[in-house]
Amino acid sequence: MASSLKKPFGGNDKSGGGDATIIPEPDLSIARANNEMQMRTQAAIDMWGLDTAAWNADLKAGTITFTNAEKELVVTAPVQVVGTYNTEDGTWLWGWDHPSVPEPLGEYARRVRDFGERYGLEALTTRKIAVSMDEAWEFTALACYLGGGQGGYSGPSGTARVFMTYGTVTIKKKD
């Protein structure tokens, strides 16, 4: 888990006579989100070559298209923008309040913000923050998990990286 998502929690559960550490609900959700993202990403790599595909997001249409020339596949899916990571200064700008993100495409990011408000996780409720690339991926995994997405992706856009989730994919042979 990312350090910006960690919050001090209580110690040990001694009620049952044992000394088991209590794992708070937000930590379980974040861990599950990260595990699911890793599995979904590997499945997309194996199935249609996510790792070698070119990408194009159409924010007006609300879609992302991956074109894999090697496998001769075109994959399209609905897209959500979780946020952008500025590679020059290491800052993250959430999709729920990003000037370039149409309001409907920030829905999954808003779910993360709501999750952060519920559990007092400042990193999830602060519009712009300094984070690592790993933390940006964790935000994306959590957005995918909370929104019911099918996977996550990060693509370059100038000096930034756009972190997105995508929904159910449609796979076609390239024309």
Quote the number of domains for the chain: 1
Q: Is 12 part of a structural domain of the chain?
A: no
Residue 5: strand, helix, or coil = helix
Is 15 part of any domain?
A: no
Q: From CA 57, how far away is CA 78, in angstroms rounded?
A: 9
Is 89 among the domain residues?
yes
Q: Is there a domain that residue 10 lies in?
A: no
Per-residue pLDDT averaged across 56-64, rounded? 97
Q: Among residues of the chain, what percentage have pLDDT more than 70?
A: 86
The whole-number pLDDT of residue 22 equals 53
Q: What is the mean pLDDT of residues 107-133?
A: 96
Residue 28: per-residue pLDDT: 85
Q: Where are the alpha helices (DSSP H) in 8-132?
A: 25-48, 107-119, 122-125
Q: Is residue 27 part of a domain?
A: yes
- Please say if the pLDDT value at position 174 is more than 90: no
The pTM score is 0.85
pLDDT at 29: 85
pLDDT tens digit sequence for 20-55: 555 457 888 888 999 999 999 999 999 999 999 999
Is 122 within a domain?
yes
pLDDT at 12: 33
pLDDT at res. 13: 37
Q: Is the pLDDT confidence value at 167 over 80? A: yes
In a domain? residue 9: no
CA distances from 95 to 12, 20, 21, 30, 133 (A): 37, 38, 34, 19, 16
Q: What is the mean pLDDT of residues 101-130?
A: 96
Band of residue 5 on the pLDDT scale cut at 50, 70, 90: low
Tens digits of residue pLDDT in 65-85:
999 999 999 999 999 999 999
> How far is residue 88 from each of residues 53, 81, 84, 130, 136, measured CA to CA in Å?
25, 20, 12, 11, 14
DSSP code of residue 72: T
69 belongs to a structural domain: yes
pLDDT digits (tens, 9 = 90+) for 156-166: 999 999 999 99
Range of the domain at 48: 20-173
